[in-house]
């Protein structure tokens, strides 16, 4: 339990220091922007959507 507590204290101290620095927010913004551009592109493209195979028409009627 002490290891997890020590990790929490270290994480809290680093967050306290990092949140005051402009470079941290700029780097985080660029990272978020490029991540969203890479992973969000498929959601922005037009696609057919989901369609079951024709054999399922016999099941659903």
Q: What was the pLDDT predicted at 1?
A: 58
Share of the chain above pLDDT 90, in %: 46
Q: What was the pLDDT predicted at 36?
A: 93
Q: What is the DSSP letter of 51?
A: -
Residue 48 pLDDT > 80, yes or no?
no
Q: What was the pLDDT predicted at 42?
A: 80
Share of the chain above pLDDT 70, in %: 97
Q: How far apart are CA 5 and CA 11, in angstroms?
A: 10
21-43 tens-digit pLDDT? 999 999 999 999 999 999 988 88
Structure tokens at 13: 């101290």
């Amino acid at each position: 339990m002490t290891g997890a507590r020590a990790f929490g204290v270290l994480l809290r101290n680093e967050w306290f220091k990092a949140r005051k620095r402009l470079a941290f927010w700029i780097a985080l913004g660029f990272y978020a922007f490029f991540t969203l551009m890479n992973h969000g592109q498929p959601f922005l493209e037009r696609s057919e959507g989901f369609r079951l195979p024709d054999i399922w028409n016999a099941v659903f009627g």
